[in-house]
Amino acid sequence: MTNLPGALAAASDAAPEATIAAFEARLIRVALTRPWAADVTAVGVIATHVVRSDGAEGWGFSWTPQIGAAAVHALLVHDITAFAIGRPADPGSEWLALWEHLHEAGGGGVTTIAMAGLNLALWDAAARAAGTSLTGFLGAQRKRVRAYGSGVNLHYTLDELVAQAGRWVEAGFDAVKVKVGGPDVAEDLDRLRAVRDVIGPDRALMIDANQRWDLDRATRSIDVLAEVSPAWIEEPLRADDLHGHIELSKRLAAASGIPLAVGENLHTVFRFDDFLRTGAAQIVQPNIVRVGGITPFLGIAAIAAEYGAALHPHLLPELSGQVALCLRAVSGVAEPMVEDVEDAGFGALGALLDDSPIRIARGSLTEVDHRGLGIRFS
């Protein structure tokens, strides 16, 4: 693995003699207060636990909203456990070898999601063994990070969407994100106008099409929706359509100038490099679990910094917020923002054994005193 920050080397120095003595995983379902669709009323979490040969313990997790949780659990229980036992326990040293080991089952997706279960547990164990939090272990660069209000809301009625926008304003967010991509772009525009009326002209309004358009429809739709001055357009095309994103980026640069954001469905450092190197995206949004854990996420952050692209982590604020606090500022590049989907945080859902390691208030995320990742599931 290349382009990883010095933090990984520091982790390797933490306890080089320790090995992985035991590893286990269990599948749980966390009910959602606000369903993300008629058939998405819970998310799948695979809670993991590692024990090192020096007695240090760590807790991590893998996550997938609807599809693949049982497959991820099976990979962790069988292939990843068999691979891990007896190997060095310093976080990051396992990643590339494990990715190569699992590659015949797929280079990303279920495999990298499963890999995060081991990687996160190893980072947690390392930080706990050092007597500190993840931010203390990596080195915090800021005391707070900006958060934006978000929701899985394309199925909301207009009244429900307007009410949600009002809650975001009341909560103090200065940036919000709304889903688009309905059958009629005119209806999308009506909904966005209503949200803009509620949030006012000074708050940032991002839009997310969740891969619903092809290139020509995306071009036409974004031209219409530019009226509400979107801060970015997220996933307008199929996530792996590199050439489509290159062409759309050129079209937008020549027209509205709205930046393209991608990443929640890209799964490796290598794929992020493809999109950034070719100018297919100006903003990247890696999901720490989907890319395989903290180790590859830090690599993606280093690549984004190299290309001068903004990075805003996707979902999971209890985890992504901590890592965002540790990302180094890049001259001329917006600092990371953390996504807070309404009523979807693990703490808010009552899924955690301990208090949440983070707090979001008045549009900012701050850390609460804890050890390691501070994320253990009840």
Residue 293 has phi, psi (to 5 degrees) of: 125, -170
SS3 of residue 56 by DSSP: coil
> Which domains are delineated in the chain?
6-131 (3.30.390.10), 135-367 (3.20.20.120)
What local confidence, expressed as pLDDT, does residue 38 receive?
84
What local confidence, expressed as pLDDT, does residue 370 receive?
97
Nearest to 260 by CA among 237, 277, 283, 293: 283
- Cα dihedral: 225, 229, 235, 236 (round 10): 30
Per-position pLDDT tens, the chain of length 378: 444 444 344 444 444 589 999 999 999 999 999 998 888 899 999 999 999 999 999 999 999 998 999 999 999 999 999 999 999 999 999 999 999 999 999 999 999 999 999 999 999 999 999 999 999 999 999 999 999 999 999 999 999 999 999 999 999 999 999 999 999 999 999 999 999 999 999 999 999 999 999 999 999 999 999 999 999 999 999 999 999 999 999 999 999 999 999 999 999 999 999 999 999 999 999 999 999 999 999 999 999 999 999 999 999 999 999 999 999 999 999 999 999 999 999 999 999 999 999 999 999 999 999 999 999 999
SS3 of residue 94 by DSSP: coil
Give Dmax (Cα) for the chain: 62
- 121 CB-near residues (< 8 Å, 6+ apart): 23, 48, 49, 50, 58, 59, 60
Q: Active site includes 314? A: yes
Nearest to 134 by CA among 146, 121, 147, 144: 121
SS3 of residue 204 by DSSP: strand
Classify the C-alpha dihedral 313-314-317-323 as positive or negative.
Answer: negative
Tell me the pTM.
0.93
Distance from C-alpha of 20 to C-alpha of 8, rounded to nearest angstrom: 18
Q: How many CA atoms lie within 13 A of 172 on its CB side?
A: 8
Cα-based distances in Å from 302 to 6, 30, 76, 116, 330: 10, 33, 28, 19, 10
What local confidence, expressed as pLDDT, does residue 16 receive?
56
Distance from C-alpha of 358 to C-alpha of 369, rounded to nearest angstrom: 8
Considering 49, 73, 177, 179, which one is annotated as catalytic? 179
Strand partners, 20: 52
What local confidence, expressed as pLDDT, does residue 132 receive?
98
Considering 49, 73, 314, 370, which one is annotated as catalytic? 314
Distance from C-alpha of 197 to C-alpha of 55, rounded to nearest angstrom: 56
What tokens does 243 get?
């050439």
Contacts 24+ apart (CB under 8 A), 241-246: 241/215, 242/274, 242/275, 242/278, 242/280, 244/214, 244/215, 245/275, 245/280, 245/281, 246/278, 246/279, 246/280
CB 342 within 8 A of CB 164: yes
What local confidence, expressed as pLDDT, does residue 37 receive?
86
Distance from C-alpha of 161 to C-alpha of 155, rounded to nearest angstrom: 9
